[in-house]
Structure 1
Amino acid sequence: MNFIEAFSRTVRCYSGKTAVITDEGWSETYGELDRRTTRLANALEERVGGARIATLSCNGVLPLEAMLASHKRGVANVQLPFRESQGGIVSMLEPTGASALLFDDSNVEKALGVLDRTDFDAAIHRGDAEVDHEAVESYEAIVENASSEALEPDPAFEHGVFYTSGTTSTPKAVLHDQESMWLGSTQVVMEMGIDESDVALVTSPWYHMVTCDAWMLPHIQAGATMVIQTHFDPDDALELIETHDATGLLAVPTQLRSFVEAQRANEYAVETLSYIRTGGSIVTESLVDDVSTHLTPNVYNTYGLTEGGPNLAYAPPSLQTDHPGTIGNESFMWELRVVEPAETAASLDPDATVGRGGTGEVLARGKGATDGYLGRPEATEQLFVGDWLRTGDIAEVDSDGNLHIVGRADNMIVSGGENIYPEEVEEILEGYDAIEEAVVIGAPDDHWGERVACVACVGAETAVSEDDLDEFCRDHDRLANFKRPREYVLTSERLPRTDTGTIERETVSREFFEIE
């Protein structure tokens, strides 16, 4: 089944129901959303034929309608990250074959720069800003003037192009079709019991897999209402929950921390909030406790990757009580294995599974996986071991068979022949009251090969020394001595992260330790 069929069912059942509300005052029903996206699909066909389009936009109506119009065409929408640089976007577009660029008011300057450096057949702007470019058309004008006749979609039934959150090179382009999106969306509806009575706040960037296929599409499939926040702000988001009686929230861990801080300070009325979905980076036990105390006890922790759809594993709230921070185990559409880690796909054995209490790399098998990266055959070859998708993530299997992500295989530090996953050390360090966040890396060492080094973000008014942290680590009963940092840098500045909360380790290594 393709997702556009699921959307058509929603329109038949809930045509007059509100589909989307934005913090800018726009709203439309499912019937209106259906009619507008048909017109947009026709307008795009007139301008670029069967070519793909690209969308550069903050959260709002534009990316939602562009995705659904692309479903109706059966041709992908390239989901561009609006936080990327102009040059980065130009590089990211190269393997996609996109022929039209859609953009909003917040991205006018960047979009015009991209247009001047690329060869698009069409450029379409939605918003009130004055755009001085002869090739740019008005979004609302083309929608109003386009045909309302249904299209025959391309049999490829593409959904769109996502990007991996690369921090050291151009992010890799990942194509998913609508069957993959429907599988992922259906899985999330099943996991969380989403139905037409739900009101979901959309506040994380739309172009990420987790926001798109683990949040927006499932709520559309169920006929629920989405409240879209254009630019993330925790206080404004909590006010939207209060105003619209929102029942659900998706937030990556960095966002959840800011939600907790805002709620502690202002105590918004969020009693209607019945579930929170999180993931994207490691969720700590302390964060689960804080969210349960200040927002809702119903925390769904999930684990996935762009190449595999919305998530491979999930842990319902009931698991967080006895296994805080776990990602649970395989979701409905996936089979998972945890195997002995290896440096390359060729040297990895998918049958070398680890037992309970063991640690290894997560492999996944399911129909929701991508076929590979656009224009990157060598990277695609490393992505699979037979029909198993290689995640590159390291998980510990607890005594009940639940998985706990402890780090990335490519982040592993080898010190004196011992393997150390920095995320494990970071979680312990962040349990020290004075530390707001910590990053652990491997610094070159003539004797040990690598030594464990730490950058700790502490409050500007906090008095803490390297000796204090070293004593804390020496005394901690969960930290082996060989994992203890031998070098510290203390800073009051926030550490660099991607917008899904992933630490930019290469940036930390370069800026704090001058490691290239």
Structure 2
Amino acid sequence: MNYIDTFRRTVRCHPTKAAIVTDGGSTTYEELDERTTRLANALNERVPEGRTATLALTGSTAIETMLASQKRGLGNVQLPFRAAPGALASMLESTAASTVLFDDANAEKAVELLDRTVFEAGIHAGERSIDREDVEDYEAVLANASTEPVEPDPAYEHGVFYTSGTTSTPKAVLFDQEQLWYGSTQVVMEMGLDETDVALVTTPWYHMVTADAWILPHFQAGATLVVQSDFDPDESLRLVQEHDATGMLAVPTQLHALADAQAEAGYDVRTLSYIRTGGSIVTEQLVEKASEHLTEGIYNTYGLTEGGPNLTFAHPSAQDEHAGTIGTESFTWELRVVEAAEPDEDPDPSATVEPGEVGEVIARGPGMSDGYLNHPEASEQAYVDGWLRTGDCAEVDEDGYLYIVGRVDNMIVSGGENVYPEEVEDVLESHEEVEVAVVIGLEDERWGHRVACVVYGSDNVDVEALDRFCKDHDRLANFKRPREYVVSNELLPRTDTGTIERDTVYEEFFGA
């Protein structure tokens, strides 16, 4: 099934129900259906065989373009609005996008892209004046477009997502609507979504987790989306209170901020029954903190762009006996944890590890992508004999629950022993004076690599005390203990999904 068929079903069942609520008001499913049909027809008139690239903050415009592109069957290139113009131009090279649709906040970047790329047209949604012959006004384009049903391209594309690019240039991944239908449907099943739900959108729309694990499943269920274009924890909690929101998506850094804000301000969030999180490691301490201040319905999930919305999920009850777990495989996936291989070597799908051991997660399922656009070597490395190689290492317990330990390409080999930075970071961040820790492997003549770390926390962080804490900790073997400590006075850089930018940390603190 193609996702757009489920959207049409929702329109038939809930035409007058609010689909999207923003600062500018609300849009019903019937209105959203008409607007996206108009946009699809308008795009077909201007670039009948071209994809559309969207450079916009999270909001109605971005969501409408996603759905309009599905109706066309020609993909929407979901551009990260925080990227620089030069990076965006490079990212667009493999996408065959012919039109750029943009908002006020991204007008300068979009104009620069129009000057340096092969876009045939631009469409601007907003109040700013854009004095260019090749740019049209979004609302005028819709007003003059047909409302007749659109004949879709038989490829039934959804669009192009980009990998996070924390250690390399972001790669483009094309998904069709059947692949995203699998992802959206499993989220509806996992969380029991229905038309009574009101979900807050706080994360950037262009990420897979926001699109196919949040926006699309709530539309599929006939729920209402309350959209926050720029995350602010107090504003998020106010919106939950104002709209009686039942659900929220938040990456771990956001979850920390939300719990802290709620502890201080005490908003009425009693309607909040589920929070979906993931994107980086979710610690046992964070689950406890969020459960205390926000809701006990914390769903920890795990996935990657290439795989669709998520490969695993942990029902909130799983944390009682399996604290910190990412759960077990999701409904449409088969997962294995196999003996880890070097990044340039293929893992053996049959070499599964025993309970208590660590290995690399590989996965296969009908919703996974087929490869990277114009990156055949990277595709060959990531897609092995029908399995998607995640690059993440996990431990499996006796009950089959998974716990992410670290990345294959982050692994530090010190004195012949494997050290996963995330494992050491978890211990460091359990110290009362440490808020964030980043562990790095530094070249060492004797040991091959030695473990070093950068910590950010209170003004009372003491390196000697922190080292004693690591020596005495019963979860940290001595060979994993940092041999070098750096205390940062500033927050350490992260992507907008909460993943630490390790290369940036290395260059800033150890690159000289």
TM-score (norm 1): 0.98
Residue 37 of structure 1: CA displacement?
A: 0.3
Aligned to 1:71: 70
Task: Tell me by how many angstroms 1:185 deviates.
Answer: 0.3
**Counterparts of 2:448 and 2:119 in 1: how far apart (Å)?**
49
Structure 1, residues 292-332: CA drift from partner, whole Å, max 9, x if none?
00000010000011000000000001101111210111000
Contact 1:161 1:173 in 2 (8 A): yes
Matches within 5 A, 1:137-286: 137-286=136-285
**2:499 aligned with 1:502, yes or no?**
yes
Letter in 2 for 1:8: R
2:446 maps to 1:458:
no
1:289 equivalent to 2:288? Answer yes
| Structure 2 unaligned regions, length at least 5 | none
Amino acid in structure 2 at the alignment position of 1:324:
A
> Which deviations, in whole Å up to 9, do the C-alpha atoms of 1:365-406 show, x marking residues without a partner?
101111100010000000112011100000000122100001
Task: Map residues 31-50 of structure 1 onto 2, 5 A cutoff.
Answer: 31-50=30-49
Q: Which amino acid aligns with 2:212?
A: D
What does residue 3 of structure 2 align with? 3
Q: Residue 96 of structure 1 corresponds to which residue in structure 2? A: 95
Following the alignment from structure 1 to structure 2, what is the Cα–Cα distance between the partners of residues 463 and 68? 51
Query: Which residue of 1 is the match for residue 327 of structure 2?
Result: 328
1:346 deviates by 4.6
The 8 Å contact of residues 345 and 383 in structure 1, kept in 2 or not, is answered as no
1:417-469 deviation digits (Å, cap 9, x = unpaired): 0000000000000000111100001011111111000000022xx22221111
1:12 maps to which residue? Answer: 12
Q: How many residues align?
A: 512
Q: Distance in 1 between matches of 2:154 and 2:308?
A: 21
Equivalent residue letter for 2:111: L
State the Cα deviation string for residues 237-269 of structure 1 (Å, max 9, x = none): 100000000000000001101101111110111
Residue aligning to 1:106: 105
| 1:188–1:214 Cα contact (<8 Å) kept | yes
How far does the alpha carbon of each residue in 1:329-351 deviate from its partner, in whole angstroms, 9 at most, with x for none? 10000000000000146541110
Q: C-alpha separation between the residues in 1 aligned to 2:330 and 2:168? A: 31
More deviation, 111-120/239-248: 111-120
Q: Does 1:343 align with 2:342?
A: yes
Aligned to 1:353: 352
Residue type matched to 2:7 in 1? F
- Name the CA distance, whole Å, in 2 between partners of 1:169 and 1:365: 24
Give the equivalent residue in structure 1 for 2:471.
474
Residue 113 of structure 1 deviates from its aligned partner by 1.2
* 1:171 CA drift (Å): 0.2
Partners of 1:242 and 1:268 within 8 A in 2: yes
Q: What letter corresponds to residue 18 of structure 1 in structure 2?
A: A
Looking at structure 1, the residues matched to 155 and 237 of structure 2 have their Cα atoms a distance apart, in angstroms, of: 40
Paired with 2:168 and 2:117, the residues of 1 have a C-alpha distance of 20
2:21 is aligned to: 21
The one-character-per-residue Cα deviations of 1:24-63 (angstroms, maximum 9, x if unpaired) are: 2231100000000000000000111121010001110011
Matches of 2:156 and 2:391 in 1, distance apart? 29
Please say if residues 101 and 122 of structure 1, whose CA atoms lie closer than 8 Å, have aligned partners that are also in contact.
yes
- Equivalents in 2 of 1:5, 1:394: separation in Å? 37
1:353-372 superposed matches below 5 A: 353-372=352-371
Q: Distance in 2 between matches of 1:36 and 1:86?
A: 29
Tell me if the contact between 1:345 and 1:385 (Cα under 8 Å) persists in the aligned partners. no
**Alignment-mate amino acid for residue 85 of structure 2:** Q
